[in-house]
Structure 1
Amino acid sequence: MKLAVVGGGSTYTPELIDGFARLRDTLPISELVLIDPAADRLELVGGLARRIFAKQGHNGKIVTTSDMDAGVADADAVLLQLRVGGQAARNQDETWPLECGCVGQETTGAGGLAKALRTVPVVLDIAERVRRTNPDAWIIDFTNPVGIVTRALLQAGHKAVGLCNVAIGFQRRFARLLDVTPADIHLNHVGLNHLTWETGVRLGGPEGEDLLPKLLAEHTDTIAEDLRLPRAVLDRLGVVPSYYLRYFYAHDEVVRELKTKPSRAAEVAEMEKQLLEMYGDPALDEKPELLAKRGGAFYSEAAVDLAASLLGAGGSPYQVVNTVNNGTLPFLPDDAVIEVQAAVGSHGPAPLALPALDPLYAGLISHATAYEDLALEAALRGGRDRVFKALLAHPLIGQYEYTEALTDKLIAHNREHLSWA
């Protein structure tokens, strides 16, 4: 079994490698190709990857290359974890929106649109290369904004599934609080990527006992602290929102906070320098503790599980993925991409049926989906008017004065990545 990782020079990659090594019985990889244009980073990461495999007794071959076509050739699955523009572009995404009083974040708001505009054309080009070399390969997208990128892939006819680590993070936290194993936790996870709610926490499977009332009765303070939301919000909702909902439920508070401290991109850039120095140490043969602060917790477990299911190697029967709606949420278009529990196999994901969703959540999902429609249109076709319309439609923006300024700033900061600008 051959897997390729586009963006293999990322400092994230040793987390993925560690998961491949530990879970080799679930996903028996014979060849792993790390693909990245940054040859210096790639060799550092590749060296550590080989040492991790060797230490854990994995006999798979690890190849590093900057040749995209050669790297994806004959791959059974291709994982996308690239960042167009690197941390420098992310730093811009997280700062210039604040000048207009809007949240600065890499996946939502104006910064999220900027990332989508930079990313979608690049990902589609990679996907076409994959299709030319191996049309049967699955594309697993971890590249943000996952929902928009996955929709672009599916709309273009690719065999693609989007993956995010938010759900598996909740699964692990809830299992710990409830003193059960993670495999015992089945989430009623519903929404769009980075706009989701846990409306049920079931024991053992989709028909199991709902432990959410018990979880909230006994652990609401802990969960609220993790989400950085007041307990009163969770008490009123009766569900657990993703921590990304704080950008919506406490937007102005978050903006004030972000204006008083360095961007997350600046923190990550400094962390990456330290990590790359560590990766260059020939004695290092395991992922360093610092990597846990980099983000992407449990990404490797989620990626292994999904790839194993798609490739018929095993994997969990139900997983949270980003996939086409097809009537699952009846208030959305069929071709919208949603993030929900699905039965996953070699045929791909099949979303599980969901009960009617409270208008409190359905309304925001509908609003954000309309924005994503316009964002994808802007990413595919370009033009200032399309960027303006997408920003105006975003639930966190919506005022023409802000939108005019944000449109100009977005284009100015991303001109080198926009072929039409």
Structure 2
Amino acid sequence: MKLTVVGGGSTYTPELIDGFARLRDTLPIEELVLMDPAQDRLELVGGLARRIFTRQAHNGTITTTTDLDKAVDGADAVLLQLRVGGQAAREQDETWPLECGCVGQETTGAGGLAKALRTVPIVLDIAERVRRANPTAWIIDFTNPVGIVTRALLQEGHKAVGLCNVAIGFQRKFAAMLGVSASDVHLDHVGLNHLTWETGVRLGGPEGENVLPKLLTDHTEAIAADLRLPRAVLDRLGVVPSYYLRYYYAHDEVVRELRTKPSRAAEVAEMERKLLALYADPALDEKPELLAKRGGAYYSEAAVDLAAALLNGAGSPYQVVNAHNNGTLPFLPDDAVIEVQAAVGRQGATPLPVSHIDPLYAGLMAQVTAYEDLALDAALHGGRTRVFKALLSHPLIGQYEYAERLTDELIAHNREHLAWA
């Protein structure tokens, strides 16, 4: 089995490598290729990756390359974890929207749109080259904004499934609170990527006992603190929202906070410098503790589970992924990409039926889906008017004066990445 990681020079990659090494019985990789245009980072990460495999007695080979076509040639699966423009572009995504009083964040709002515009054309080019190299290869997308990028891939007929680590993070936290194995916890996880709610927590599988009421009774304070939302909000909702919902439920509070502290991009850039220095140490043969602060918790377990299910039918039969709606949520178009529990196997991912969704959540999902339609149109076809419409439709913006100004700012800060600008 050959697996290729595009964006293999990311500081995330040792987390992924650690999972591949530990879970080799689930996903028996014979050849792993790390591809990245940044040769210097790639060599540091690749060296550590080989040492991790050696330490854990994994017999697979790890190669590095800056040549995309060479990397994907004959690959059974290609995992995408790229960041077009790097941390410098992320820094901009997180700062210029604040000038208009809007959240600055890399996956939602104006910053998220900027990332989508930079990313979608690049990902589609990669996917087409994957298809030419091996038409049966699966593409696993971890590249943000996952929902929009996955929809772009599916729209072009690629064998793609989107992946996010939010659900597996909740699964592990809830399992610890309940004192059970993570594999015993099944989430009624519903929404769009980075716009999700846990409407049930079941023991044993999709039909198991729903223990969410008990969790909210016994652990509300801890859950609310983790989400940085008041306990009263969880009490009234009766569900657990993703921490990304704080951008919607406490927008103005978040903006005030973001204006008074360094951006997350600046923090990550500094962390990456330290991580790369650690990776350069030839004695290091395991992922360092600092990597846990980088984000992407349990990313490797989720990636291994999904790849194993798609490639050899192993792994968990039910997983939270990003896939076509296809009637699962009747208030959304069939070709919308939703993030829900799905039956996953060699045939792909088929969303499980979802019970009635409260209008409070359905309405926001519908509005953000409409934004994603317009965002994808802007990413594929360009043009100031398309960018303006996407921004105006986003619930975190929604005013024409803001949309006008943010359109100009977005184009000005991303001109080098926009072929039409």
State if a TM-score over 0.5 links the two structures. Answer: yes
Residue 281 in 1 paired to residue 295 in 2?
no
Q: Distance in 1 between matches of 2:356 and 2:152?
A: 27
Alignment of 1:267-346 (within 5 A): 267-346=267-346
TM-score of the pair, normalised by structure 1? 1.00
d(CA) in 2 for partners of 1:312 and 1:9?
Answer: 27
2:243 maps to 243
In structure 1, the partner of 2:143 is 143
Partner residue of 1:17?
17
CA distance in 1, matches of 2:152, 2:298: 25
Superposition deviation, residue 313 in structure 1: 4.5
- Cα deviation, residue 406, structure 1: 0.3
The one-letter code of the counterpart of 1:158 is H
Letter of the structure 2 residue corresponding to residue 117 of structure 1: L
CA distance in structure 1 between the aligned counterparts of 2:211 and 2:79, rounded to whole angstroms:
34
Contact preservation (8 Å) 2:118, 2:379: yes
What is residue 219 of structure 1 aligned with on the other side? 219
Aligned to 1:61: 61
Question: For the residues of structure 2 that align with 1:70 and 1:64, how far apart are their CA atoms?
Answer: 10
1:402 aligned residue:
402
Partner of 1:169: 169
Tell me which residue corresponds to 1:5.
5
Residues 190 and 339 in structure 1, CA contact (< 8 A), matched pair in contact too: yes
What is the deviation of 1:356? 1.2
Partner SS for 1:311: helix
RMSD across aligned C-alpha pairs, in angstroms? 0.4
Please give the secondary structure, in 2, of the residue aligned with 1:322: strand
Secondary structure, counterpart of 1:183 in structure 2: helix
Give the Å deviation of 1:13.
0.1
CA contact (8 A) 1:189 1:196 kept: yes
Letter in 2 for 1:348: G
Deviation by residue 1:138-184 (Cα, 9 ceiling, x = unmatched): 00000000000000000000000000000000000000001000000
Note the alpha carbon deviations across 1:10-42, whole angstroms, 9 max, x for none: 000000000000000100000000000000000
Gaps of 5+ in 1: none
3-state SS of the aligned residue for 1:106?
coil
TM-superposed CA distance for 1:342, in Å, is 0.2
After TM superposition, give the deviation of residue 312 of structure 1 in Å.
1.6
Q: How far apart in 2 are the matches of 1:312 and 1:26?
A: 9
Report whether the alignment pairs 1:233 with 2:233: yes
SS of structure 1 residue aligned to 2:210: coil
Cα pair 2:313 2:345 within 8 Å, conserved: no
Q: Contact between 1:26 and 1:313, CA under 8 Å: does it hold in 2?
A: no
Give the TM-score normalised by the residue count of structure 2: 1.00
* Letter matched to residue 403 of structure 2: T
Pairing 1:127–2:127 present: yes
Alignment: residue pair count? 421
Q: How many Å separate the matches in 2 of 1:266 and 1:195? A: 25
**Post-superposition CA distance 1:23-67 (Å, at most 9, x none):** 001000000000000000000000000000000000000010000
Aligned to 2:342, the other structure's residue is in SS state strand
Structure 1 residue runs of 4 or more that deviate by more than 3 Å after TM superposition: none
